[in-house]
Amino acid sequence: MKISIENIKLTKLIVMRSNFSSLFLFLLLCAAGSVSLKAQNNSHVSKMKISLQKRVLSSQTGKDFKVVNELQEWNPTETAIIICDMWNEHWCKGATERVTEMAPVMNNVVSVARNKGMLIVHAPSGCMSNYENHPARKLAKKYKSQRARDLISDNKLESENGAAWPIDQSDEGCDCAVECNQKSTLIKYCPQIDVIEIKNQDAISDSGIEMAGLFKARGIKNVIIMGVHENMCIMDRSFGLRNMVRLGINVAVMRDLTDTMYDSKQAPFVSHYTGTSLMTEYIEKYICPSMVSSDITGEKQFRFKNDNRPLVAFIIAENEYQANRTLPEFAHELLLKKGVNCEFALGKEEYKEPNIHNIENLQILKDADLVVIFVRRRALPSEQMSIIKEYINSGKPVLGIRTASHAFSINQVVPITGGGLVAATGQVAESMDQWPEFDKDILGGNYIGHYGNMDIGIVFSMVPGMENHPLFKGVSPENFIGPVAFNESLYQNRPLRSENIQVLLEGTIPDNPAEPVLWINHRDKGPIIYTSMGHWDHWKIEQFRQIMFNSVDYLLKR
Residue 166 falls inside a structural domain: no
Q: d(Cα 503, Cα 535) in Å, to the nearest integer?
A: 20
Q: Is residue 303 predicted with pLDDT exceeding 70?
A: yes
- Residue 343 neighbours by CB under 8 Å, 6+ apart: 311, 312, 313, 314, 361, 364, 368
pLDDT at position 44: 64
SS3 content of the chain, % helix, strand, coil (to 5): 35, 20, 45
Strand order in the sheet with 250-258: 65-74, 48-57, 290-291, 250-258, 222-227, 79-84, 119-123, 203-204
Instruction: Give the span between the Cα atoms of 336 and 438, in whole angstroms.
Output: 32
Question: Who's near 159: CB < 8 A, 6+ residues apart?
Answer: 286, 287
User: Domain tally for the chain?
Assistant: 2
Q: How far apart are CA 159 and CA 267, in angstroms?
A: 24
Least confident interval from 135-144, 242-251, 478-487 = 478-487
Per-residue pLDDT band for 13 (boundaries 50, 70, 90) equals very low
User: From the DSSP assignment, how many helices (H) and strands (E) are in the chain?
Assistant: 12, 23
Residue 366 reports pLDDT greater than 90? yes
In a domain, 53, yes or no: no
Task: Write down how long the chain is.
Answer: 558
* Cα angle for residues 231, 218, 289 (degrees, 5° grid): 30
Residue 107 has a pLDDT of 98
Residues 196 and 126 in one domain: yes
In angstroms, the CA 134 to CA 525 distance is 58
pLDDT in tens, 466-510: 999 999 999 999 999 998 888 889 999 999 988 899 999 999 999
449 in the same domain as 371: yes
| Structure confidence by residue, pLDDT tens digits, 328-341 | 999 999 999 999 99
- For the stretch 197-200, contacts whose Cβ atoms lie closer than 8 Å and that sit 24 or more positions apart, written own/partner, are 197/107, 197/110, 197/111, 198/122, 198/131, 198/134, 198/136, 199/114, 199/120, 199/136, 200/134, 200/135, 200/136
Handedness of CA 458, 463, 464, 468 (dihedral sign): negative
407 and 290 fall within a common domain = no
- Tell me the C-alpha distance between 192 and 127, whole Å: 8
In this structure, the answer to whether residues 449 and 384 fall within a common structural domain is yes
What pLDDT is attached to residue 5? 43
pLDDT value, residue 190: 80
Residue 46, domain member (yes or no): no
Do 379 and 455 sit in the same domain of this protein?
yes
Instruction: Give whole-number Cα distances, 94 to 1, 180, 317, in Å.
Output: 99, 9, 38
CATH number of the domain to which 470 belongs: 3.40.50.880
pTM, entire model: 0.88
Is the Cβ–Cβ distance between 334 and 327 less than 8 Å? no
Distance CA 242, CA 223 (A): 12
Q: Measured between alpha carbons, how far is 483 from 425 in angstroms, rounded to an integer? A: 27
Q: Is residue 515 part of a domain?
A: yes
pLDDT tens digit sequence for 142-156: 999 999 999 999 999
pLDDT of residue 549: 98
Same domain? 193 vs 284: yes
Residue 548 has pLDDT above 70, yes or no: yes
Q: Is the pLDDT of residue 232 over 90?
A: yes
Q: Is residue 40 part of a domain?
A: no
**Percent over 70 (pLDDT), the chain:** 87
| Whether residue 402 is found in the same domain as residue 275 | no
Together in a domain, 547 and 455: yes
32 — pLDDT class (breaks 50, 70, 90):
very low
- Residue 400 and residue 478 in one domain: yes
Q: Note the pLDDT of residue 426.
A: 55
- Which pLDDT value is given to residue 182? 80
Distance CA 231, CA 165 (A): 9
Residues 409-424 have a mean pLDDT of 51
C-beta separation of 313 from 303 below 8 A: no
**Domain presence at residue 167:** no
For residue 62, the model assigns a pLDDT of 77
pLDDT of 418 reads 42
Q: Is 402 left (phi over 0), alpha (psi -120 to 50) or beta?
A: left
Between 140 and 24, name the one with better pLDDT.
Answer: 140
Q: Which amino acid is at 486?
A: F
The predicted pLDDT at position 499 comes to 84
Judged by average pLDDT, the poorest of 245-254, 293-302, 477-486, 502-511 is: 477-486
Same domain, yes or no: 270 and 341: no
The answer to the question of residue 417 being in a domain is yes
229, 85 in Cβ contact below 8 A?
Answer: yes
CB 312 within 8 A of CB 552: yes
**One domain for residues 211 and 257:** yes
Query: Taking the mean position of all CA atoms in its chain, how far away is CA 45?
Result: 25
Q: Give the pairing of strands 449-450 and 491-492.
A: antiparallel
* Per-residue pLDDT band at 184 (split at 50, 70, 90): low
**CATH number of the domain within which 255 lies:** 3.40.50.850
Is residue 31 pLDDT above 60, yes or no? no
| Domain region containing 450 | 330-555
Pair 383, 520 in one domain: yes
Residue 304 lies in a domain: no
**Three-class DSSP category at 256:** strand
